[in-house]
Amino acid sequence: MTTTPDGVADFEAHRRALVGLAYRMLGSRAEAEDVVQDAYLRWHAADRAAVEHPRRYLGTVVTRLCLDRMKSAQARRETYVGPWLPEPVVDEALDGEAAGELAHDISVALMLLLERLSPLERASFLLHDVFGLDFAAVARALGRSEAASRQLAARARVHIEAGRPRFAASREEGQRLAAAFAQASASGDTQALTQILARDAVLHSDGGGKREAALNPIRGADKIVRLIAGLSRKSTLLRDFVGRPATINGLPGFVLREPDGSLSTLAFEHHAGRIVAVYFTRNPEKLRHVRF
């Protein structure tokens, strides 16, 4: 292959895809960008003339860097306060495509499914099914046999396919439900909330121990409605939120400015005209890249 003298253009051609791979591996946009920058330094120092397939080479480098980081991330997860949600990706797509087209690849639901996989299962699945490497390249990246890499990806695929939504969600319907949820929450209209929440809806709130949030997911429409009604009675918090509509990990939602000036994100997953999941991210460490 022919590379530019400094290799910058060759690397930049793959940067967004590499950030997307690292984000899906780590669940953190900030860490993903750090990993890709480390990969660039290694690319800059490499014998690029000997690299036949830059995408394959760079995907291998990024994956190995992510696996190293995931060892310490697992320890952090064990002491994490409350539910863990990935850092929100707001109003953009990681691979240069429309956010709606990538919703199934970066949705919060998929990120939570990936989080339950072992690091090697996650890496094998992402490198093959998302990043597009063949299993010979995956095997070299992971230091495993080709047969073992196939098995890792197959196990991951079973878990992913079992947890993915089976029906395409309407973007317009999602935006309508998100607006209705915001209005009903601000006004304390419990009847309206009950009508737009699925009976088995789940609310996940991530404060990371740094901001107030439920320590466990709130399961069931009745419990979610009671929680919101209680908040409405006790304070003006919900009424005083200022928000702008946004696409969060491919889902309809809002970027919110709270009364104290801090930011948070609210995203909604929906099916058959009802909200089935609410993702509320308040941990300030996960919102540094978010703009109101």
> Where among 80, 105, 125 does a domain terminate?
80
Cα 110 from Cα 103, distance rounded (Å): 9
User: In the structure, what pLDDT confidence band is assigned to residue 92 with cuts at 50, 70 and 90?
Assistant: low
Q: What does the block give as tokens for 58?
A: 């760079």
Cα 80 from Cα 149, distance rounded (Å): 30
Cα 36 from Cα 49, distance rounded (Å): 20
Q: What does the block give as tokens for 169?
A: 């969600």
As for how many domains the chain has, the answer is: 2
> Where among 10, 45, 80 does a domain terminate?
80
Is residue 75 domain-shared with residue 175, that is, in the same domain?
no
More confident residue, 238 or 144: 144
Is residue 75 domain-shared with residue 177, that is, in the same domain?
no
Whether 30 is covered by a domain: the verdict is: yes
Asked whether the beta carbons of 112 and 272 are under 8 A apart, the reply is no
Amino acid identity, residue 62?
Answer: V
Say which range, 20-24, 60-64, 238-242, has the weakest mean pLDDT: 238-242
| Mean pLDDT score of the chain | 88
Query: Quick one: which of 7, 91, 96 has its CA closest to 49?
Result: 7
User: Which CATH number covers residue 238?
Assistant: 3.10.450.50
Is residue 175 domain-shared with residue 282, that is, in the same domain?
yes
Whether 121 is covered by a domain: the verdict is: no
Is residue 282 domain-shared with residue 175, that is, in the same domain?
yes
User: In the structure, what pLDDT confidence band is assigned to residue 216 with cuts at 50, 70 and 90?
Assistant: very high
SS3 content of the chain, % helix, strand, coil (to 5): 55, 15, 30
Say yes or no to pLDDT of 237 above 70. Answer: no
- What is the value of pTM for the model shown? 0.88
User: Which CATH number covers residue 12?
Assistant: 1.10.1740
What range does the domain containing 10 cover? Answer: 1-80
Please give the pLDDT value at position 101.
40
> Where among 62, 80, 98 does a domain terminate?
80
- Rounded mean pLDDT of 150-176? 86
Tell me the per-residue pLDDT of 171-185, one tens digit each, with 9 for 90 and over: 899 999 999 999 998
